């Protein structure tokens, strides 16, 4: 089992979690979303984590094939900027957890990096902070795209008990 902690202050961020070998294929289809929050089912079930090999968040780069664009993030929607469809060239190997397994992280003042429709898209950069102030994670919880929390692989660290 593995616990994740803040790299700066050492505060525990998650309870003991078991590693998944692959990112679950969770449907974000309209009829699978919560009727009140409009969120997709959480990508990762409670009590688990998985390392996401795909990039997440900014910066974004214009995709080569504008005729057949792919989503800007795995499990997310197509994103178009002025120059065309873009794809994330952000942080790889973030740690995906159920948002409720890190429930005491705080949003940033003035809703920074938390724009969205029904919740933050999570596409603007880290939007959840440790009590010490370090931005340790990015929450995605909007009515399109996935429902998941990405722990930053540098600002957090894993402690595994064997
Ligand atoms: Zn901290
Ligand atoms: Zn919405």
10-residue averages of pLDDT along the chain (162 residues): 98 98 88 93 98 97 96 93 96 98 97 97 97 98 96 97 76
Q: Quick one: pLDDT at residue 131?
A: 97
Q: Quick one: pLDDT at residue 87?
A: 98
Output the CA 141–ligand 2 centroid distance in Å.
10
Output the CA 39–ligand 2 centroid distance in Å.
9
Closest CA to 138 of 109, 93, 80, 99: 99
Q: State pLDDT tens for residues 134-146.
A: 999 999 999 999 9
Which residues fall inside 5 Å of ion ligand 1, going by CB?
6, 8-9, 11, 130, 132, 134
Element (H, E) at 88: strand 84-88
Output the CA 126–ligand 2 centroid distance in Å.
20
Output the CA 42–ligand 1 centroid distance in Å.
25
Output the CA 91–ligand 1 centroid distance in Å.
20
Neighbours of 155 (CB within 10 A): 18
| Cα 19 to Cα 74, 95, 123, distances in angstroms | 19, 10, 25
- Answer yes or no: are the C-beta atoms of 153 and 138 closer than 8 Å: no
Q: Quick one: pLDDT at residue 162?
A: 72
Peptide bond into 59 cis (omega under 30): yes
Cα–Cα distance between 109 and 34 in angstroms, integer? 27
Q: Quick one: pLDDT at residue 104?
A: 95
């Amino acid at each position: 089992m593995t616990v994740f902690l803040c790299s700066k202050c050492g505060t525990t961020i998650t309870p003991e979690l078991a590693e998944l070998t692959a990112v679950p294929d969770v449907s974000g289809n309209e009829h699978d979303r919560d009727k009140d929050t409009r969120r997709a089912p959480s990508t990762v079930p409670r009590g688990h984590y998985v390392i996401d090999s795909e990039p997440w968040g900014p910066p974004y780069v214009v995709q080569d094939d504008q005729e057949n664009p792919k989503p800007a993030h795995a499990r997310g929607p197509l994103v178009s900027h002025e120059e065309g469809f873009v794809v994330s060239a952000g942080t790889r190997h973030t740690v995906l957890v159920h948002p409720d397994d890190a429930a005491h992280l705080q949003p940033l003042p003035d809703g920074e990096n938390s724009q969205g429709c029904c919740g933050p898209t999570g596409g603007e950069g880290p939007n959840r902070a440790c009590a010490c102030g370090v931005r340790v994670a990015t929450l995605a919880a909007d009515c399109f795209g996935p429902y998941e929390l990405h722990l930053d692989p540098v600002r957090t660290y894993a402690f595994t008990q064997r």
